[in-house]
């Protein structure tokens, strides 16, 4: 029986050429897998047919938009996940859902190997291969660009020689990855980190400095899940899509950063993630209202580790699963409404209300109706600082202070 290789297929030049390239190099049949995570662009049926026209024996197409939003973007939202305190894991979140479908296709079509189009310099090679080994340890992985020396020039020559139905002459100066949670742009003139981004880079957001009206939005959460916008019920996918449009119109979610890649190099990336940033901003503020202080403090450390594990391709790791359970347990009381103003590149919280709030007006107020017993404060301060006071006395006695 002829061996089969499942290929993560985007429909572009490299993965289209990879179908024949892999077949020639391995003597295996290629099954192409395309996964819709809200990246837009061409219709998936067109992409599926192109894969077949380029030599794939089967083409597996999955509409994973709701799955991606519910099972990958939502956990990231509940974790307030921002790698290096800024990046909402746009690309990192999509890789494990693609991996899940690659593994499913491999089982369905009897493949022993999974292929992807990553280079040897990026994070995605790790995310794909570690994810695949985490779900199906018996599958092998190959990367034509990295392992079979498939350069862009070779890809163009191969496509022209074999009359493949793919554009080979125009070369976008940027490398772009996008899904419903955001968009990532790198390479080209951006590799000189002194060069400022130009407006042509952006697609999900409009120039935040342009004149536009303020947009007020109310986001409703139930147990950490966005369920309504301005009183209209939404799915998680719809919440992201609606806020991509409204926050994007206000120029929210643009990021220009030099980040630490997993492979050890620093990389300049330009991101735009309007819906993600607006939702995380609202969710963080609702947690400020509803989470007990020590739980909130501890969760912030868990959030950082959760983001690092996801960025580093360890979505299916035991630690990540355990952190998922902790974060899920913190969301029980994260319910209520957050009002925000979207304007000038910023999502500014202007109101909060929740039936599970820990904010007590009568304890917080300095006006009439104050129920806080201020006479207790003096003793509290004395006990709270007692250990430091004792240590300071010792240090002064020994001349160390």
Q: Which of 4, 50, 65, 95 is catalytic?
A: 95
- Residue 117, annotated ligand binder? yes
Residue from 124, 183, 246, 335 carrying the catalytic annotation: 124
Is 215 catalytic? The answer is no
Torsion (CA) 237, 242, 243, 246 in degrees, nearest 10: 170
Q: Please tell me whether 357 is known to bind a ligand.
A: no
Q: Is 150 labelled as part of a ligand binding site?
A: no
Q: What are phi and psi of 333, to 5 degrees?
A: -105, 10
Query: Catalytic residue among 4, 14, 94, 312, which?
Result: 14
127 is in an annotated binding site: yes
Catalytic residue among 53, 70, 175, 268: 175
The answer to whether 153 is a known ligand-binding residue is: no
Q: Is 175 labelled as part of a ligand binding site?
A: yes
Distance of CA 213 to the CA centre of its chain: 29
Tell me how far apart the alpha carbons of residues 323 and 297 are, in angstroms, rounded to a whole number.
Answer: 15
Cβ pair 106, 32 in contact under 8 A: no
Strand-strand pairing, 182-186 and 266-272: antiparallel
Residue 15 annotated as part of some ligand binding site: yes
**Residue 354 in marked binding region:** no
Contacts of 278 (CB under 8 A, 6+ apart): 217, 219, 243, 246, 247, 252, 253, 340, 342, 347
Q: Verify whether residue 335 is a known catalytic residue.
A: no
First to last CA, the chain: 79
> Is 317 known to sit in a ligand binding site?
no
Q: Is 11 annotated as ligand-binding? A: yes
- Structure tokens that stand for 231 in this block: 């009183």
Pairing of strands 346-353, 4-8: unpaired
Clarify whether 95 is annotated catalytic.
Answer: yes
184 is in an annotated binding site: no
Strands 4-8 and 29-36: parallel
271 is in an annotated binding site: yes
Q: Is 9 labelled a binding residue?
A: yes
Any catalytic annotation for residue 4?
Answer: no
**How far is it, in rounded angstroms, from Cα 303 to Cα 313?**
16
- Known binding residues for L-citrulline are 87, 123, 127, 175, 259, 271
Active site (catalytic) residues: 14, 95, 124, 175
- Known binding residues for L-aspartate are 119, 123-124
- Known binding residues are 8-16, 87, 117, 119, 123-124, 127, 175, 259, 271
- Known binding residues for ATP are 8-16, 117
């Amino acid at each position: 029986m002829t061996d089969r290789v499942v290929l993560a297929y985007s429909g572009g030049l490299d993965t289209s050429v990879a179908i024949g390239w892999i077949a020639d190099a391995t003597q295996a049949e290629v099954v192409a897998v395309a996964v819709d995570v809200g990246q837009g662009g061409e219709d998936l049926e067109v992409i599926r047919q192109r894969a077949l026209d380029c030599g794939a024996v089967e083409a597996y197409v999955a509409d994973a938009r709701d799955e991606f939003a519910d099972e990958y973007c939502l956990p990231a939202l509940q974790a307030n996940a921002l790698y290096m305190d800024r990046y909402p894991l746009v690309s990192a979140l999509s890789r494990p859902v693609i991996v899940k479908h690659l593994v499913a296709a491999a089982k369905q079509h009897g493949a022993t190997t999974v292929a992807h189009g990553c280079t040897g310099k990026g994070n995605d090679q790790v995310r794909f291969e570690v994810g695949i080994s985490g779900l199906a340890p018996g599958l092998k992985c190959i990367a034509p660009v990295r392992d079979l020396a498939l350069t862009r020039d070779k890809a163009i020559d191969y496509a022209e020689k074999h009359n493949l139905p793919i554009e080979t002459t125009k070369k976008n100066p940027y490398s772009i990855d996008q899904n419903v949670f955001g968009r990532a742009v790198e390479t080209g003139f951006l590799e000189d980190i002194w060069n400022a981004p130009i407006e042509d880079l952006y697609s999900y957001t409009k120039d935040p400095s342009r004149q536009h009206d303020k947009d007020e939005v109310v986001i409703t959460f139930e147990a950490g899940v966005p369920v309504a916008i301005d009183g209209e019920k939404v799915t998680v996918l719809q919440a992201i899509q609606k806020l991509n449009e409204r926050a994007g119109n206000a120029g929210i979610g643009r990021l220009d950063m030099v980040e630490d890649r997993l492979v050890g190099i620093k990389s300049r990336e330009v991101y735009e993630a309007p819906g993600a940033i607006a939702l995380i901003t609202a969710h963080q503020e609702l947690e400020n209202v509803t989470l007990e202080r020590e739980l909130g403090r501890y969760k912030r450390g868990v959030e950082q580790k959760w983001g690092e594990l996801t960025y580093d391709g360890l979505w299916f790791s035991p630690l990540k699963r355990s952190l998922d359970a902790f974060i899920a347990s913190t969301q029980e009381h994260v319910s209520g409404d957050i009002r925000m103003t979207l304007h000038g590149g910023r999502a500014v919280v202007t109101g909060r209300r929740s039936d599970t709030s820990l904010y007590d007006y009568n304890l917080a107020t300095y006006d009439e109706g104050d129920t806080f017993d201020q006479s207790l404060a003096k003793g509290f301060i004395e006990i709270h600082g007692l250990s430091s006071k004792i240590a300071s006395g010792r240090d002064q006695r020994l001349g160390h202070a």
